[in-house]
Amino acid sequence: MPESQRPAPAEAPPLRSASEAERLVQFAKSQPLADGGLQTAQLLSQALDLDPHHHEAQILQERLHQTFVPRWHFPMLADAARNAAYARAITAKVRPGDIVLDIGCGAGLTAMLAARAGAKHVYTCEQQPLIAQAAARVIADNGLSDRITVICKWSHDIVVGVDLPEPADVVISEIVDTVLLGEGALATLTHAMSALAKPEARTIPERGRLVAQPVESNALLDLWRPQQAEGFDLSAFHHLARVAQLPPSDFEACALRPLGPTTELFEFDFARPNINRARTTADLTCSDTGTVHAVLASFEMELAPGVTVANDIDSGGHWGRTAFLLDQPTPVQPGDRAKVIAQHDAAQLSLSVREISAPAKEARSPIVWMNPAWVAPAAARQADLPSPLIEAEAVWARADSAVLQPAVQSNP
């Protein structure tokens, strides 16, 4: 490479700055993380201001961010369909003069949407200090600090009259996982609607439902239950992977094929939530020929009338998917049914396949009307009847009842 095209070497910081950056990094490493990483983050930022290329400071900062800021925040913010749905729902449900409580601030997007929709004031809570601090900067950058207050608290710790001036008119949240329950939405909203909101308060989302359907995917098994590697049988390891968590990239690569429609498991009212345990048995009907490899659980949330978001098999977006793997892949035909047992404790979902079976064949029951007056003439006519009809007449003649009797006959 010609000398003129070689990249310029990184400019080393002054010796004093490099020394001070190193001191700050070592000090950052000694800090407890009970404050959610705030002090550590500040020290590492100061070190990188002095020496932007300090290797250990960069590594520690990234590790800190990954520890305290879940990575799903970023694809969620990039999910245009999800963002547009929340914008429509908030515009429809937030009215001028409303006090809004936004649970789970994140980057502050839903809080800013509520302010834009005309809310008198938005109180948005975020328990993670690094996220709350960043959200406050985003809100300030958008000129909304006077209408949005970031509360660095878990919503269960918020007190009306201390953190909120009055109960909320609207409660907004997006605290669900791939099966609605894993982020504690039901417990959080049970508390919020009873302690932090007015009796007639509106919610976004309004309700949600969990559904399930049988699916086929050889790629899913190749990913989660490889049969062998380099000629070695791996099947004894498979029992350790009964639930497949599929991020969007894996979900797309596995190309799940539905073998039947969705069947509802549970429905949740977010305006009047409860944390009662529930159990249901459901029959998942197969409408196509194939092999059931798993049962896919997915959700649909209604944010406002006519505004929904979902993570079903046909939806895109940032949400992952949850597939419950069968112990053994099972061939099915149209009409076969997979009986599943689903349970939740308001925080977690379990699902097991009890059996997959063909539909019970209905017994054919020819209906025979009997009358004693038919018996004697029937016997007299037998001499004139062909052999098959004589046998049929004999069956009729053996009847000794004048009532309607079904002659039950099993299907072969």
Catalytic residues: 174, 183
Contact 127, 152 (CB under 8 A): yes
Task: Give, as one character, the DSSP assignment of residue 281.
Answer: E
**Range 306-334 burial, b when 16+ CB lie within 10 A, else e:** ebbbbbbeebebbbbbbbbbbeebbebee
CA distances from 166 to 104, 132, 233, 368 (A): 19, 22, 63, 76
Judged on CB neighbours under 10 Å (0-12, 13-18, 19+), 243 is: middle
Closest CA to 114 of 128, 131, 97: 97
Distance CA 60, CA 55 (A): 9
Cβ pair 126, 106 in contact under 8 A: yes
User: The tokens of 210 are what?
Assistant: 């969990």
Q: Are strands 337-344 and 349-357 parallel, antiparallel or unpaired?
A: antiparallel
3-state secondary structure of 325: strand
Q: In the structure encoding, which two tokens stand for residue 354, read together? A: 């009890």
Beta-carbon contacts of residue 361 (< 8 Å; ≥ 6 apart): 411
Amino acid at 31: Q
